[in-house]
Structure 1
C-alpha cells in the first residue's frame, strides 16, 4: 500500500458510453493503484480508453497483429526498477460493446463487468499474467478479487 502516491489518470471515452462516468472511475483507480504500487514510487500515471468494438479491432490489429475485437487490452510501460520514483504504468483499453455483451452473458451489471476488465488490465500493466502457468493465474485472480473489494467496499 502506498497512501502518499500521486496518481494521474487520463480518461478518454470514444465509445459514447453514458453509463460509466469518469469521476468514480478515477477515484477507484487511485485506490487500486495505491494498493498495488510499491512504496518507493511517488507518482504513477495510467491512461484509460473506452472504445467500441470497431476501434478495438483496429487497435488490436495495429498493436498485436490480431484483427478482431476483444474485451480489454493492456499496454504496459511499467518498470519494476525505474531510475526515478515517477512511473507511467501504461494504457488500458476497454471495448464497451464487448463489456456490455459479457455483462449480459455472465448475468451481472455493466459497472461490475467494467471494473472487472479495468482491474484485469491494470494488473497486466503491473506485470501480472494469467497465461503463463496455473500459479500465476491463481495469483492474478487473487489480486483481481482484492482490487475489486476495494472498489465495491461499502
Structure 2
C-alpha cells in the first residue's frame, strides 16, 4: 500500500481517543486501496477531522449551499489524485451527532458506521461521486466491497457482503 500520513483532528470531545480514530481511518483507507488496487505516484497526506453538527453545518452551508448538518464531507485537493505530485489528497470531515444518530437508528455499531463514512469520504477524494444513478450505484458497489473486505455488513442492507467483488 502507498504510504499515508493521516492527520487526525478531533474538534468534538464526544469522538473519544484520537489514536483510536486514526487507527480506524488507517484501516478503512488501507482496505479501500487494497480492494481498489489503487496506487499513487507519491506518498499521500490527508486529514480526517472529527467535529460536530454545528461545525459541519457551516461547511455544508458555505460549500454546498445546504444549511443543515450532514454526516460526512470531503474536500479533494486535486481533480486527478492518482497522478498529483503534491501528495495532498484532501480532507474528510465527520459530524459526531449525525453519525451517532444514524448508527443508532440503523442498529449498526458506531465503529462500523464511522468506517463506512471514512470509506465513503475517501472515495470522494479519489474522484467518485453519486450525482446520478449510475455513479451512485458504482459508489455503493465499491463501498459494499471495501467494507466486506473488513467483515462489515452491507451498510445499505440489501446485498450479501460478497455480492460485489471489485476484481
TM bucket, shorter chain: 0.7 to 0.9
- Which residue in the other structure is 2:160 paired with? none
Give 1:50 shift: 0.7
Q: Normalised by the size of structure 1, how large is the TM-score?
A: 0.83
Give 1:145 shift: 1.6
Q: Which runs of 4+ in 1 moved over 3 A?
A: 36-40, 150-153
Cα distance change of structure 1 residues 55 and 32 upon mapping to structure 2, 3 Å threshold:
same
Give 1:99 shift: 0.5
> Contact 1:15/1:96 (CA < 8 Å) preserved in 2?
yes
- Which residue in the other structure is 1:145 paired with? 144
Superposition RMSD in Å: 2.3
Cα distance change of structure 1 residues 70 and 30 upon mapping to structure 2, 3 Å threshold:
closer
> Contact 2:9/2:50 (CA < 8 Å) preserved in 1?
yes
Question: SS of the residue aligned with 1:89?
Answer: strand
Give 1:88 shift: 1.4
Question: SS of the residue aligned with 2:46?
Answer: strand
> Contact 1:31/1:151 (CA < 8 Å) preserved in 2?
no
Question: SS of the residue aligned with 1:47?
Answer: strand
Partners of 1:29 and 1:108 in 2: CA distance: 16
Mind listing any 5+ residue stretches in structure 1 that lack a counterpart? none
Mind listing any 5+ residue stretches in structure 2 that lack a counterpart? 153-167
Cα distance change of structure 1 residues 143 and 15 upon mapping to structure 2, 3 Å threshold:
same
> Contact 2:32/2:119 (CA < 8 Å) preserved in 1?
no
Cα distance change of structure 1 residues 39 and 72 upon mapping to structure 2, 3 Å threshold:
closer
Give 1:142 shift: 1.5
- Which residue in the other structure is 2:3 paired with? 6
Relative to its length, the structure with more strand (as a share) is 1
Give 1:121 shift: 0.8
Give 1:9 shift: 0.5
Segment of structure 1 superposing worse, 54-63 or 14-23: 14-23
- Which residue in the other structure is 2:16 paired with? 18
